[in-house]
Chain A
């Protein structure tokens, strides 16, 4: 899964655009989504960013939708609670649950849908970043923004080892699965615990080996980072125009509701 996302990040046409510019678009979109008073702007941001990823980054639409559905299903659960709990106005429909009358009012339904649209827009923005920007470029930006050196290095090493350990975990999991380790709940719990403990010990040993490796390569307490691509003038203008249009949609569509 992770390999796959990173692969798209390197291969698409948007990978040639400066990472700082993409980060600007994503941060701007996230802020517009979260502060938009109506559902129109977040929906539009979600659709445009998702569309640009599918059109320019060679991500199949099916893959994109599948990745998007997991976080949205979590948000749906909370949105339903908000719909049932809150709001004033006319009752849209009501039913009884375990002896309690439950009613969905207009205010609650509007709020729930607004939250869902914000989550949709925000999640699409995050996926835009994940699918178009290699992580290493984000680190360069962080370092250029004078984040603490130790934190950036720690993040880079964590990033590297996530893939090493994921590989390790999937090998152990396949080995256990082939030996029927996940047949039955008790067996599954036992196998999972063994997987976790072996993973911990493997990572510990890899950490110790990493010290030796880094020392052997004259690690002086600093890791070298590539410099980022410069921001192009037209690119910056396009990004700013996009954010400006979305912000105005958010402002003009502040009274629009979906119901």
Chain B
């Protein structure tokens, strides 16, 4: 859910730039450190970023009749962690703004905050909590991705509500209105992306479980158990 160029008035677009900057800056320093320590990290990060972009530009099977794309950031956060996903999401959002005029430059800060910080953080925390609690792996992936999408669109609704409170001055009232309108398309989309993500991880497990092990998504014992379940 992008906020389009020009939609957020002063001072809100500046505020969201300031809010998301620390996360991206910290992410960049993490990536610098990674690429210094391991040379092979840069190409892998690059294809990861391209993967997130392409995933988010694919058209999902339509449920509501509207044009719907996955955000891809929930899946990114499970695979690569929150910080790296923040940086990748920032780069992907700049490309979407500059190539396709989806989103924009002045609204970049707000979009990075909702899609690159809040969503991935939620996905990562839920996924880690569920795997620590010993919940079913696929259920964890589904919950993490679906909730990440919902958090993303709720944060977007909040950003718009803060900038445009209702005539009585109530931010809450306006927040409900925005989230109600967005939920028509975003709620089915979130559930759908959750299902797709869970199935995706199933196929990745079948074909190249070792990749998930290297990315530290699964422990060796968990991978063995899941492989047994599939065969």
A residues with a Cβ closer than 8 A to B are 1-2, 5, 27, 30-31, 33-35, 42, 67-68, 70-72, 74-75, 77-78, 80-82, 84-88, 105, 107-108, 111, 115, 118-123, 125-127, 129-130, 135, 138, 148, 150-151, 153-155, 157-162, 164-166, 169, 173, 182, 185, 188-190, 192-201, 203-204, 206-208, 210-211, 214, 221
Contact = CB atoms under 8 A, between A and B. Distances in A.
A68 B50 contact: no
Contacts of A193: 195-197, 199-200, 202-203
Contacts of B181: 77-78, 80-81
Interface of B: 2-10, 13, 28, 31-32, 35, 39-40, 42-51, 53-55, 57-58, 60-61, 63, 67, 75, 79, 87-88, 91-92, 94-95, 97-102, 104-106, 160, 164-167, 173-174, 177-178, 181, 192, 195-197, 199-204, 207-208, 211
Given A129-B98, A138-B98, A122 B32 contact: no
Contacts, number: 243
Contacts of A138: 98
B149 to A, nearest CB: 15
Given A126-B101, A157-B42, A85 B164 contact: yes
B63 A185 contact: yes
A207 B38 CA distance: 14
Contacts of B48: 203, 207
Contacts of A194: 199, 203
Top 8 nearest A-B pairs (CB, nearest first) are A122-B5, A118-B6, A157-B46, A193-B199, A122-B6, A161-B50, A188-B61, A197-B203
Contact of B50 (A74, A118, A162): A162
Main secondary structure of the interface of B (DSSP, over half): helix
A68 B213 CA distance: 43
